[in-house]
Structure 1
Amino acid sequence: MRNYLFSLGKNAKKASIENVSSVKKNQVLKDYIFLIKDNHSKIILENKKDLKNANKNKLKNNLIKRLLLDNKKLLQITNSIKTIISFKDPVDQTLKKWKRPNGLKIEKKTVPIGVISVIYESRPNVTSDVAALCFKSGNPVILKGGSEAYYSNKILTNLFKKALQKNKINSNYVQFIESKNRKTVDFLLTKMINYIDVVIPRGGRGLVKKVQELSRIPVIGHLEGICHTYIDDQADLTMSKKITLNAKLRNTAICGATETILIHKKILKKFCDPILSNLEKNGCKIIGDKNINKFYNGKIKIAKESDWSTEYLGPTVSVKSVKNIDEAINHINKYGTMHTDAIITKNNKSAKKFLKQVKSSISMHNTSTQFADGGEFGFGGEVGISTNTLPPRGPVGLDQLVSYKYQVTSNGRIRK
């Protein structure tokens, strides 16, 4: 295992030195689309092997759903790659340039981050998304997918390698860890600091927590998505009903799903019943504080302190009344995870205050938190979402996968 992983690291480092033109990058991605279409039935066949194993191992239904590759999913994959092709190459862009009185000419230019390793679960589309995004941004990638998607991930990686080989580009730009040994992740995180520049975990809380605690390599990611929707005293009721239903129940398993709804106490009488009954009749369990309990006529469980810091990832929501916008912001900054938080209000002054003062990497106004996604932001996909205070923050797409350097020139200046 040790020699195998070190060889992947060395291969990736060699690939990182090679300079690939924007034209070549796009040609590789076009060829990758062609190969996916040309090998459509083979991909489905490999995916069926994974699905068969998943059913045999009694994997949860939501994980099997994420694992499935069908015509619709493969079309989404190729459309995502097409979008990435359409974007400008983020490498070697001049961000700023200036001259100094001391005679120095300084340019701030974008450069790739280096070797990236992505550790992920279930979704095989992550393989193609990440490979395309990392390659176009000039970052060799080492992929470690979950064993449940082994065959799907392997064929999608091999097809990318074929596209690289066809264009006479180092095929080690994209590498897949074929070992199913669970200790590979531990080794990668603790022993490969000389080969990997950044680790990005994508998956459940257990995986992300392990990566963050164990890794000696810098990590881009988020542990939990405790997202909030705050309904202000100047919110529109119809809009509030529509947004909260979507923010909570469209897909309860994603990190951008709202887990806590905050309602201004002035509107409890008018808003509480319509909003919460709309959620309950669509299968959502309501956990509320004592004030919410007074105004809601449906089925409700009284909230405990721990409910404000729970990511349910299912059809359950905690609901709290707040006396004003400041209390809402303070609650979010205390219990939230700096992922995505929204305000519903007709008052632009309140909206601006909320958008500015919540510490989230994504703050929203009159919008469902379920839009917290690189694809929805127009990034053509994402390698993940980061709640780190340091950049990149929010969805990490093509433009976030570069760093920068300063290039300084003069005509022989020396410092006095």
Structure 2
Amino acid sequence: MKKELLKIGYNSKIALQENLSEKVKNKVLNDYFLLIKKNKTKIIISNKKDINFAIKKGIKNNLIERLKLDEKKIDQILFSIKKIIKLKDPCNKVLETWKRPNGLKISRVSIPLGIMGVIYESRPNVTCDVSSLCFKSGNAVILRGGSEAINTNKILSDLFRKSLEKNNINKNYVQFINSKNRGFVDLMLSKMQNYIDVIVPRGGKTLVQKVQKLSKIPVIGHLEGICHTYIDNEVNMKMASNIIFNSKMRNTAICGATETFLIHEKISENNINFIFKKLYDNKCKLIGDTKFKKKFKGKVKLAKNKDWITEYLSPTVSIKTVKNIDEAIIHINKFGTMHTDSIITKNNKKAKKFLTKVKSSIAMHNTSTQFADGGEFGFGGEVGISTNKLPPRGPVGLNQLVSYKYEIKSNGAIRN
């Protein structure tokens, strides 16, 4: 197994020796687009095999929903590839230049990160997004998807490799570990530091914890998405109701779904019932503190301390009453995961304070947290979302998949 994985790493290094133009990269991506379009039926058949396996295995419904591919979801994948094609190649760009009194002419130039190792669960669209983004940014990628999606991931990665071969480019720019053996993950994290430059985990808390604990390679990613939306006392109630509903219920299974609502204590009982009614009517379970429970007319389960640190990923939300914006910020910075947090307010001064003081990688004003997505940011897609304090932070798209080096020229300069 180790020998097989080291061979994959070696193949990635060889692939990276090719220097590809933006035109060639876009031709490969366009051919990949056409191959997916042509093979929609085969992809859906492979996906049904994975769904049947996942059901027999007893995988949770929210993960099965992430696993499913239909015509609509494949069209979304195709749309994402088209957007990536339209984006500028971020490689080998002169980012900055300056001259020094000592005769040095210094340039900072963008370069690929190298070889990306991506470990992910359920979502087969990750295969397409990651392959496309890594290739366009000049990186090779080694994909290790979950056993529940192996058939779908294989056909999607094979189509990318077919597109590479069609254009006479080393197909090992994209490699997929076609095995359900979990030992491959351990080896990727502990024995591949001479090949893989960055590890990106995309999956549940257990997977990400394992990666962060075992990896000897730098990791880009986030552990959990405990996202908050704070509703100030100075709000447009209709706007607040719409944002609250969307930020939770548009898709409850994504990491950008709001898990905790914080509400200003001066919001009246009538307004609380108005802004939370839509959630309640759509069978979202409300878990609230004593103050909220007294004001809301529907059924509310009393919150416990563990609810402030729970990522539900389901139609369930916790609700806490706070005295003011300062208490909301303190709560978010204590219990949040530096993912995405939003404030709803008409007061721009308060909004500015919130955006500045919360530690989140994404801070929002009068906006649904469901926009925490590379595609929505105009990145074409994302490799993942990073809550690291060091860059990259937030959605990791095309322009975040490069590093830089310094190129220095002079006319025979020597240092005294």
TM-score, normalised relative to structure 1: 0.98
CA distance in 1, matches of 2:65, 2:320: 32
Q: What whole-Å deviation, never above 9, does each CA across 1:40-63 have from its counterpart, x for those lacking one?
A: 222222222222322333333322
Alignment-mate amino acid for residue 69 of structure 1: L
| C-alpha displacement of 1:236 | 1.2
Matched, 1:355 2:336: no
CA contact (8 A) 1:276 1:286 kept: no
What SS does structure 2 have at the residue aligned with 1:3? helix
CA distance in 1, matches of 2:239, 2:93: 42
Matched, 1:141 2:141: yes
What SS does structure 1 have at the residue aligned with 2:97? strand
Match of 1:183 in 2: 183
| C-alpha displacement of 1:334 | 0.6
Matched, 1:159 2:163: no
Alignment of 1:337-352 (within 5 A): 337-352=337-352
Alignment of 1:305-324 (within 5 A): 305-324=305-324
Alignment of 1:44-55 (within 5 A): 44-55=44-55
Q: What whole-Å deviation, never above 9, does each CA across 1:16-47 have from its counterpart, x for those lacking one?
A: 22211111101111111121122222222222
Matched, 1:328 2:328: yes
Match of 2:406 in 1: 406
Match of 1:393 in 2: 393
CA distance in 2, matches of 1:182, 1:118: 14
CA contact (8 A) 2:62 2:314 kept: no
| C-alpha displacement of 1:336 | 0.4
Comparing 371-380 with 33-42, which one deviates more in the overlay? Answer: 33-42
CA distance in 1, matches of 2:74, 2:197: 30
CA distance in 1, matches of 2:394, 2:327: 24
Alignment-mate amino acid for residue 60 of structure 1: K
Alignment of 1:129-278 (within 5 A): 129-278=129-278
What SS does structure 1 have at the residue aligned with 2:196? coil
Alignment-mate amino acid for residue 69 of structure 2: L
Alignment of 1:277-296 (within 5 A): 277-296=277-296
Unaligned stretches of 5+ residues in structure 1? none
CA contact (8 A) 2:147 2:180 kept: yes
CA distance in 2, matches of 1:91, 1:14: 18
Task: Tell me the number of residue pairs that the alignment of Structure 1 and Structure 2 aligns.
Answer: 416
Alignment-mate amino acid for residue 134 of structure 1: C
Runs of 4+ in structure 1 over 6 Å off:
none
Residue 40 and residue 315 in structure 1: after superposition, are their counterparts in 2 closer, same or farther (change >3 A)? Answer: closer
CA contact (8 A) 2:345 2:365 kept: yes
Residue 372 and residue 163 in structure 1: after superposition, are their counterparts in 2 closer, same or farther (change >3 A)? Answer: same
CA distance in 2, matches of 1:158, 1:35: 10
CA distance in 2, matches of 1:79, 1:298: 41
Comparing 38-47 with 317-326, which one deviates more in the overlay? Answer: 38-47
CA distance in 2, matches of 1:146, 1:383: 16
CA distance in 1, matches of 2:208, 2:25: 31
CA distance in 1, matches of 2:270, 2:314: 27
CA distance in 1, matches of 2:38, 2:325: 55
CA distance in 2, matches of 1:107, 1:206: 42
Comparing 56-65 with 28-37, which one deviates more in the overlay? Answer: 56-65
CA contact (8 A) 1:235 1:346 kept: yes
CA distance in 2, matches of 1:348, 1:127: 41
CA distance in 1, matches of 2:111, 2:271: 51
